[in-house]
Amino acid sequence: MTSSSSADLVYDMDRWWVREWQKIQPEKDLYRYYRLTLQQNLWGEWELIKSWGRIGQRPTRVVALSVAEPEHAEILAAAVAKTRKLHGYLPDGV
């Protein structure tokens, strides 16, 4: 029986990213964000973390999805960006 040690793990942090969208409507007291984070877990597997909530507070919801490759996360991120735009969110920094 062979076991994989932590020395065998490869973390490709150059491929990690965070994308965020915000929806701010002060007249409705609406300050929301939606964030996607691509990272590797402790075992080196790729995860796409979706989180959202009120700006300045802890996320209301956090959902972790396993993805085989970072390229798969890019496809999901494009779909999320389209949906966020339809719901009135803007990319953070715009």
What does pLDDT average to in each consecutive run of 10 residues of the chain (94 residues)? 61 96 97 98 96 96 97 97 98 75
* pTM (2 d.p.): 0.84
Task: Determine the Cα–Cα distance for residues 31 and 16; give it in Å rounded to an integer.
Answer: 26
pLDDT at 6: 56
- Of 61, 33, 62, 68, nearest to 47 by C-alpha is 68
pLDDT at 1: 44
Core vs surface per residue 50-76: b (16+ CB within 10 A) or e: bbbbeeeeeeeeeeeeebeebeebeee
